[in-house]
Structure 1
Amino acid sequence: MIPGWHCPTVMAYGGDGLAQWLGTRPERSVALLLDGGVAEAGIAGSVRARIERGGRTVRTVVVSGPGTPEAVTELAGRIRDADLVVAVGGGSLLDQAKLAVLLRADPDALARLTVPQRGGLVLLRAERSRGPRLVAVPTTLGTGSELSAVACLAYERGKRLVMGGALRPDAAVIDPEATATLPAELVAEGVLEVLFRISGSYVGDHRDQPTEDALAQALAERTVRLGNEVRARRALGRAADERQRTEIAKISGLSHAGWVVLNRSPYAGKGWYLANELSSELGLRKMTAVAALLPPLWSAVAAGDTRLGSARRLDALWQRLRAAALDPVGEGPADPPLPEDPGEGIAALIDSWGVGRRITAEPGRLAVVARRSVRAWGAGLPMLDGLGAADIEGLLARAVPDSTPVSL
């Protein structure tokens, strides 16, 4: 076997899919990691029952709090006797599980995760010892952590992005039971997160790649249709159904993998770096920061700022998304067309999905966000492609136009 080689993640759907995958595995000692928010939920019991059904020994570990270096190091110690780890939770829990499995296999990786540096990106070496197998069962929508080779690591002054093939789980289970109680607003945010990731990679890379582009376009259009379906059900007081949640989860995972990202610039999605710093500095939910930032970001791209992306590719994508948004949903009246301008249009779409995007900041805070962004991702680093603090502060000022409190 090639050192550091890691198989693509095996996808399984529903509890039966998990049971079938477990039936192919020889591991007997299992650590079941549960997000504190789902430890008493039905999905936790279902997963545990399926693991135990095969005669395996299961030890449950409930995980709460942010994934700091200290927390993932402790978690690695708590799974030291397991040869299979099953993680059930949101993106933060899955990220912690991925990092803990990494440290179980390679304790020396801790030095790489904690080395003093100004940059926000940590690249893992390709070679590592094979640790316990990891199964990811996501209980939220949008992050796609169950299929990604990245993880966020929390520090005192924000988050770092850890990247390396060793972080990709061995199996991912998409089970509608896991998202059955997800609040409607978090389903809507999950849809936006998927669209944000796909469009960021597509628009931020100026190169045309016909096959890869076609796949990204199709997934983005599908995401918009699903977002409108979820909105229509929400308007009737109904939650997203199993099919919709499963389809959103599928696209979320696909947005991290395969031909959708093949040969794309790894730093094409400039918005992620800025939203990360904006949410950290202002104490915002990540998708609130994304929702506020995306309209002015697209307006800047459309106006010709090539550092942020391609105006031509954004226009092509937006015309397809506008058309997708006109597809009939249910039996109600047809939606009016979204604005032709991409910035105005994405703002209208976000508002229609019910994702809050109006935020406030005290005087001077945006300048701090801009400096943080440059320190972590710019000033010679490739992520921000020459964007300076003044450029970023100007963009943020359009995302946070005043300091008047607005109720979300």
Structure 2
Amino acid sequence: MSSEFAARVPTLWHGHDIARQTTTRLIADRETLVVADSSVAARVVADYSARRIEVDAHSMTVTAVAGMAEEIVRRPPSVIVAVGGGSVLDATKIASLVLAPGRMFDFAIERASKSALTFLPDARPPVDIVAVPTTLGTSSETNSVSILKNESGYRLIVGRSLRPRHAIIDPCNLRTLTSASVREGALEAFLRLAGASTGSRRSARGRRDAIALAGALLETASGDVEAADSRLRLARLSAATQRSAALRGHDPYSARHWYVANEVAFVLQVRKMVATAAIIAAVWRRVCSGDPRWGDRGSLEEFWTSVAGRVALPLDPPTGIAALVDRWGIPPPLRPTAQAIRRISAATETAWGNRYPMLAGLFADDFCDLLRDSYWSEGR
């Protein structure tokens, strides 16, 4: 079903105007299914002769994923080309599990209905996936992680069987993004590195890789992000976060802001990075106050002071990240009601806090305090 998958990470292809030629070569003489975001299909995959499913990126719920899985298993392909943003790539990766032995797809869906984090049994991918991103920052094209939206929230599924075989980054597929969207993606990639850098006991190589990539992300995204070369570089840097030692460490859950932002985004129905923009400075204030439940103060300060000066940001991490969010124009959500804060806090404790290692020792009251201390728009 799938070609030999010896590589630890997907093969990365990148460059101007390479997507069509590279994809054509990779799918030649193979039973192919194209899964494409309907908003980009006419522009990106209009002349593909392969069987095609067009999906709405804003409706990638568990129901939509199950529908995709039914189409995949009805006529199993030997390669799937996934074209779209992170939600489309994630959905395709999960749906492809229907071709895995041992009813892995059913296991993933069922487990995600009960748990915020699902680890899949270790197995090679059941089908080759060629991931062609049309947004940047998520790194879904190069990672072994997917987000599934169900009635409980955004659930995290992790496993080697989700890893694409190839990733194709072409700035032509990123040209319709607004500058604001590009910087949101850059911030997502940057905070992936920063979050990992709040963990203690990092290797010297991991620290070096994180600082080098983070500095390059800051410098590039602070420049002319309308330029195709800049978009290509940012997309490559985002992919590189998964292909270096930057995210490797003894604490796999060190990006603790992610778990709170996940619940904020679901309850308030806002984009993940908008939710992150609201809470990140408040999280870092807790790290820098010396609360080890949120991260290691020394590690965060070392990381931040190594990169902030490149773009003239304040050297105090909470002040500096707030300044970056403001400089890049990431809009905060409207201030949630007291009821919404209680709902988010309870959901965060239930899914990630208390006895779970992601936010161990943190409870609903801690998250209420965090959200009251976060940065919100007051509206009119």
Structure 1 pair 293–6 and aligned structure 2 pair: CA distance change class (3 A) = farther
**Among residues 53, 61, 85, which one is paired with 1:61 in the alignment?**
53
Residue 379 of structure 2: aligned partner:
406
User: Given the alignment of the two structures, is residue 77 of structure 1 paired with residue 77 of structure 2, yes or no?
Assistant: no
Residue 13 of structure 2: aligned partner:
12
**Among residues 343, 347, 362, which one is paired with 2:322 in the alignment?**
347
Matched ranges for 1:264-279 at <5 A: 264-279=250-265
Higher mean alpha-carbon deviation, 177-186 vs 70-79, is at 70-79
Letter in 2 for 1:356: P
Residue 299 of structure 2: aligned partner:
313
Residue 33 of structure 2: aligned partner:
31
Letter in 1 for 2:167: A
Structure 1 pair 219–282 and aligned structure 2 pair: CA distance change class (3 A) = same
- Over residues 41-77 of structure 1, what are the superposed CA-to-partner deviations in whole Å (9 max), with x where a residue is unaligned? 2x223xx45xx5xxxxx11210114333332222122
1:111: how far off? 3.0
Whether the aligned pair in 1 keeps the contact of 2:126 and 2:161 (CA below 8 Å) is: no
- Over residues 340-388 of structure 1, what are the superposed CA-to-partner deviations in whole Å (9 max), with x where a residue is unaligned? 3211111111111111125311122111111100111123111112111
C-alpha distance in 2 between matches for 1:373 and 1:296: 16
**Among residues 230, 243, 247, which one is paired with 1:257 in the alignment?**
243
Structure 1 pair 186–131 and aligned structure 2 pair: CA distance change class (3 A) = same
1:21: how far off? 6.5
Matched ranges for 1:215-254 at <5 A: 215-229=209-223, 233=224, 240-254=226-240
Structure number with larger C-alpha Rg: 1
Structure 2 residue matching 1:195: 3-state secondary structure: helix
Q: When the two structures are superposed, what TM-score results if normalisation uses the length of structure 1?
A: 0.85
Matched ranges for 1:7-406 at <5 A: 7=7, 8-14=9-15, 15-16=17-18, 19-20=21-22, 22-23=24-25, 27-41=29-43, 43-45=44-46, 48-49=47-48, 58-64=50-56, 65-80=58-73, 81=75, 82-106=77-101, 108-115=103-110, 118-127=114-123, 131-203=126-198, 205-229=199-223, 233=224, 240-326=226-312, 338-400=313-375, 405-406=378-379
C-alpha distance in 1 between matches for 2:271 and 2:62: 21
Structure 2 residue matching 1:37: 3-state secondary structure: helix
Structure 1, gaps ≥5 residues long: 53-57, 234-238, 327-337
Letter in 2 for 1:175: D
1:325: how far off? 0.8
Letter in 1 for 2:231: R
Letter in 2 for 1:262: R
Letter in 1 for 2:45: A
Structure 2, gaps ≥5 residues long: none
Structure 1 pair 296–86 and aligned structure 2 pair: CA distance change class (3 A) = same
Structure 1 pair 386–18 and aligned structure 2 pair: CA distance change class (3 A) = farther
1:102: how far off? 1.4
Structure 1 pair 365–72 and aligned structure 2 pair: CA distance change class (3 A) = same
C-alpha distance in 2 between matches for 1:115 and 1:132: 21
1:18: how far off? 5.7
C-alpha distance in 2 between matches for 1:16 and 1:339: 40
C-alpha distance in 1 between matches for 2:273 and 2:37: 20
Structure 1 pair 27–394 and aligned structure 2 pair: CA distance change class (3 A) = farther
Letter in 1 for 2:352: W
C-alpha distance in 2 between matches for 1:286 and 1:183: 17
C-alpha distance in 1 between matches for 2:29 and 2:91: 21
Letter in 2 for 1:66: S
Structure 1 pair 186–16 and aligned structure 2 pair: CA distance change class (3 A) = closer
Q: When the two structures are superposed, what TM-score results if normalisation uses the length of structure 2?
A: 0.91
C-alpha distance in 1 between matches for 2:20 and 2:41: 18
**Equivalences, count:** 371
Percentage of pairs with the same residue = 31
Structure 1 pair 91–6 and aligned structure 2 pair: CA distance change class (3 A) = farther
Whether the aligned pair in 2 keeps the contact of 1:88 and 1:139 (CA below 8 Å) is: yes
- Over residues 159-188 of structure 1, what are the superposed CA-to-partner deviations in whole Å (9 max), with x where a residue is unaligned? 100000110100000001110101121111
Letter in 2 for 1:91: G
1:22: how far off? 4.9
C-alpha distance in 2 between matches for 1:153 and 1:17: 27
1:98: how far off? 0.5
Structure 2 residue matching 1:206: 3-state secondary structure: coil
C-alpha distance in 1 between matches for 2:285 and 2:349: 21
Whether the aligned pair in 1 keeps the contact of 2:309 and 2:315 (CA below 8 Å) is: no
- Over residues 265-312 of structure 1, what are the superposed CA-to-partner deviations in whole Å (9 max), with x where a residue is unaligned? 221111110000011011111111101111111111111111111111
C-alpha distance in 2 between matches for 1:160 and 1:198: 21
Letter in 1 for 2:364: A
Structure 1 residue matching 2:157: 3-state secondary structure: strand
Structure 1 pair 264–22 and aligned structure 2 pair: CA distance change class (3 A) = farther
C-alpha distance in 2 between matches for 1:304 and 1:395: 15
